Structure 1
Amino acid sequence: MIYLDYQATTPLAPEARDAMLPWLSGPEAPGFANPHSSHRPGRAAAAAVEVARAQVASLLPPGGTVIFTSGATEAINLAIRGSGARHVIASAVEHAAILDTARSLEAPCTFIPVGRDGVISPDQLAVTEAGLVAVMQVNNEIGTIQPVEQVAARCRAGGALFLCDAVQGAGKMAAPRDADLIAISAHKLYGPKGIGALWIRQGLHLAPLIRGGGQEGGLRSGTLSPMLCAGFGAAAALAKRRMAEDAAHVDCLWQRARAILARWTLNGSATERWRGNLNLRLDGLDVARLMSDLRDVAFSAGSACASGSGRPSHVLRAIGLTDAEAKSSIRLGFGRYSDIREIEDACARIEAAAAAQGV
């Protein structure tokens, strides 16, 4: 199997797995202890959680607090609902976690369009006080990078909070320095599933969504998993060390894939994007048939989060594609553990299978 779906999830880094194993032990060792207990095994587990928190924080700006959550979706819900914002502004290409949460509020919502390149213009933001603006760093479907620093500056000038969904950018590029809230997920940066984090700028107060034992500074009650925290932390530390190396590797893979799939049309900007995301279309292509013909190549017909919902891609529609063009699009995602020979083989087979359809 050739895996080309890195936007849906990334492989677990061996270093992250190794960091998790001590916290999977049984009664013969104290690794199973509750990190919120005051006895010695509990304190050891709590110390591991705090080491992981510092490792995750190293990917994010100084002057903030990392709150562990079950994933980015919970982090986004905590940010939007906990902020008490009276007006939510978001780009039209945000993840469903942003869009659906914003729509569920009693507060008004404004959705800002993007251009054909998939990039928002900060000049379109009519920032209001007591509002919250949500713009993602890297789009999960088409890989475009948004001008988040400019968005942050406009928010600060207008008195609004800026929430950045950095799920696809964290560990790959620098986090937005002037955001107020940043949501990230471990399994998108070679860590385990089931854990994410919300970074909260110092001095900003949120209302909790989950109440109970008061863990995570009273913002997110519930027993933390030292195993998941340790894996997340190790993955974050590794990503920080390898950021330049990973980016260079991905750029090489991108160049080779584009050379083989040269006649395919790129969806979104060719320059303002993370090159580990290659979203392409070929007019007339039957994507379902293509995926059936290439069952040992794992790629996506769109966002993994939307593919099971039956809804057409709101991102591809937002950049002006017709339904037919959207249905003829595929997403190839690759990263640290992708091999260039596998990329060459997969792309050659995708091209051949498309040609066999007569397109």
Structure 2
Amino acid sequence: MAKPKDIRALIDLTKTTQTLLTHYQSSLAPSKDNTSSASQTSETELPNPLDAIKATTTLLKSHTTTLSLLLITPPLTPSAIIAKISDVSSGVLGGMVAAASYTPKAGQKDDVGNTMRTELRAQVRRLLGTWGDVLALLLRMAERRQTAQGDGAVKAKDNGPTETEKQDVLSATGVLWEACDVLLKLCADGVVGLVVKKAEQFRAVLLDAVEELKEWGEDIDDDDDDKAEGSDGDDEDDGFGDEDDIFGASNKLGKDDTELKELLDTSVKKLRKVGMLYQALIKRRLKTFPRASAEATTATTNGTAGAASSPSKTLDDLIALLKTIPETVDDLASAFYDLDEDEAKQTLAKCCTEAKSAVKLVRQNWSGADDEFTVWTGKWVDALDAV
């Protein structure tokens, strides 16, 4: 068995590393101002942090594979494990966190944009959490051996990890590998892959909400007719009354709510056109976003973005709008469920305005020129207003 002092050194290093890991995770936590940790790395321009994150993630996966073998193969070798932890903490994780924390200063090249930066930080934090689980497991194994040694039992035999410890090591390693693979895929897909995926998710949420609204509108309250027909006497009164009297009957459309029903039909038609807009934006704008050197042109005349806006900034603004629209549709649904016609009208108008803002933002292509999508957007706006 390893010497007590070596086990003690391994335990101390692991605890110190856990503290460092907590600091790393805090530096990547979402906040209103997430630039405090990035200010130290922004002095030197880092055009594409994806390359650095890809390299460090690949190294972390490799180091963890070696570490897992060291943990499950007796005897425990503290010196080798200490070297591996040091390599990961200083070189690998330090570089990964620096790249994920990086925020370019005004005038510096930005190939990533805030949408990707936010996702990178979230996925790196998740990966750090899995590494923390590996460290916690390592610490438990080291402390068990320290306890088994007792005072002065230097030559006690190391029987190796228990079967439970082996399974825990393999499980923790597998979880970390999976987190590495997710991060590597994010880097491989790049900004375009991420924004297309997000836009498709937002569109799916939007269409689900529209379908729910449509089904709600078809569920007309026939309560008056049911009461007129009366009970057949076969059902025994349980003292709780009709379920519909308690659950949801108050927010059903009545047969006489013709104006609200017409507004609902109009809303469904307009929102379906908004769903069509998502498809067009994904194909004509998101998938055509420059994958490299997005800031080769320091300005764009895209829509109303103006000469001061970069392609990455415009893309971030577009994704923010595509995320907001389904949230507004949720508010619209709530207004209908409350049978609040005025609120529904206002919220529908807001949703349409947001959709038109998205169109206006990227009416021209990423080079600032008109194209087929430019013409299509004009027809789309006319069609939306005509409903």
- TM (normalized to structure 2)? 0.25
Higher relative contact order (CA 8 A, sep 6+): 1
Q: Larger strand proportion, structure 1 or 2?
A: 1
Higher Cα Rg, which structure: 2
Q: Larger helix proportion, structure 1 or 2?
A: 2
